[in-house]
Amino acid sequence: MDATLSIDELWVSFANRAGAIDAVSCVSLRIAPSECVGIVGESGSGKTQLFLAAMGLLAANAQVKGRISFEGNELTDSAARNRVRGSRFTMIFQDPLTSLTPHLTIGTQLAEVLVQHLRMPWRDARSSAGRMLERVRVPEPRRRLGQYPHELSGGMRQRVMLAMALLCEPSLVVADEPTTALDVTIQAQIIELLRAVRAEFGMALALISHDLAVVAGLADRILVMYAGRIVEDAPAGDLFRKPRHPYTAELLKCLPSLSGPRFARLPTLAGQPPRPGEKLEACAFAPRCPRAADRCRSERPELKGSSAAQVACHFPLSA
């Protein structure tokens, strides 16, 4: 059966006066129907640009190379992308206050999705929108339809964003840092909501985050990105128990844990990721890697492994 989203050797670069900056370098991935994939990485790792490219939402000065297919159809031009964007292939963003249009009611912003893609009349669309708000557990859904984004709390706004993404019964929802701008308690609620929605709707979910903890409870599989490339790709359980890439191991060490000493200092990763635009013929993580050797500084490691798990490292941690 076709993968829901299939990306082959994707390169995304931005041209500016100084030259070209590679945001995403040679990334390939597959998301199967109903699969939940977590994409983890620091800011600048290219995780957001990857999916913006897939949806065709990049800025004008972006150059994209590679193949992107959705449900078996290659997305070659804007017509192909327009057919799926917002209906079968949707995305929700990080900060729900700035991501919702301030001068339109919630009802309008929800209904317009149905009117645009399903050609529903406005009145029916608003009713459907109200029902969807119930399904994402927004209290008093009818009242919310007439309200403006600034009248809702952060958690409610994020539910609205999710509702907007679910209205046309998508095959794949991309959630870009859905909890980052929210309080910790609300974060838990949203993650729980995502779990429930996945169970109810059965769509595939791409969950982008810099925080492994967010991804932990939901993902079937996790991709770790560093400096525009995938460095590890493994089933979630395996990744947490036995990470193979040194970067993944360091990330895991940074997670606060409920067991262990009460006042231990939280470990941090030394150094900075490479600046975008720095091109190296070497492993990008080498400067910060505790296991780095000469080979790492002169030869870039390729992704190697089986279809179930891959890692890009010359000296991966033992399985």
Partner 1 sequence: MMRYFFTRLAGAIPTLFIIVTLTFFLMRAAPGGPFDEEQALPPEIMANLQNAYGLDQPMWTQYERYLKSLLHGDFGPSFKYKDFTVTELIRLGFPVTLELGAIALALALFAGIPLGVFAALHHNSAADTATMSVAVVGIAIPTFVVLPFLGLLFGVYLHWLPVADWEPGSIRHLALPVIALALPPLAYIARLTRGSMLEILRSHFIRTAFAKGLPLRTVILRHALRPALTPVASYLVPAVASIMTGSLVVESIAGIPGIGRYLVQGAINRDYTLVLGMVIIYSTLLIGMGLAVDLLYAWLDPRVRPAK
Residues that bind partner 1 (CB under 8 A): 55, 57, 82, 84-87, 90-91, 93, 95, 98-104, 112-113, 116-117, 148, 150, 161, 164
- Cα–Cα nearest to 173, from 67, 31, 309: 31
132: tokens are 């969807």
Tokens of 158: 């994020």
CB 158, CB 96: distance < 8 Å: yes
Closest distance of CB 190 from partner 1, Å = 17
* Tokens (6 digits) for 293: 């050797």
CB of 134 to partner 1, least distance (A): 20
Compare residues 63 and 82 and give the one whose CB is closer to partner 1: 82
d(CA 159, CA 136): 6
CB nearer to partner 1: pick between 113 and 208: 113
Cβ 191 to partner 1, closest distance in Å? 21
- The least distance separating partner 1 from the CB of residue 115, rounded to whole angstroms, comes to 10
CB of 22 to partner 1, least distance (A): 22
* Alpha carbons 87 and 77: distance in angstroms, whole number: 17
| Pairing verdict, β 89-92 and 36-40 | unpaired
Shortest distance (Å) from residue 150 CB to partner 1: 5
Closer residue to partner 1 in complex, CB, 96/141: 96
Smallest distance, Å, CB 100 to partner 1? 6
Q: Which is nearer to partner 1, 26 or 57 (CB)?
A: 57
Angular region, 206: left φ>0, alpha ψ -120 to 50, beta rest: beta
Question: Largest alpha-carbon pair distance within the chain?
Answer: 66
Residue 224: name the closest of 29, 90, 39 by CA.
39
Given the complex with partner 1, which of 40 and 84 has the nearer CB atom? 84
Which tokens sit at 61? Answer: 């000065």
Sheet strand arrangement including 73-74: 19-31, 5-16, 62-70, 73-74
Q: Torsion over CA of 200, 201, 204 and 208, rounded to 10 degrees?
A: -70
CB nearer to partner 1: give 87 or 248. 87
Rank residues 35 and 112 by Cβ distance to partner 1 and give the closer one. Answer: 112
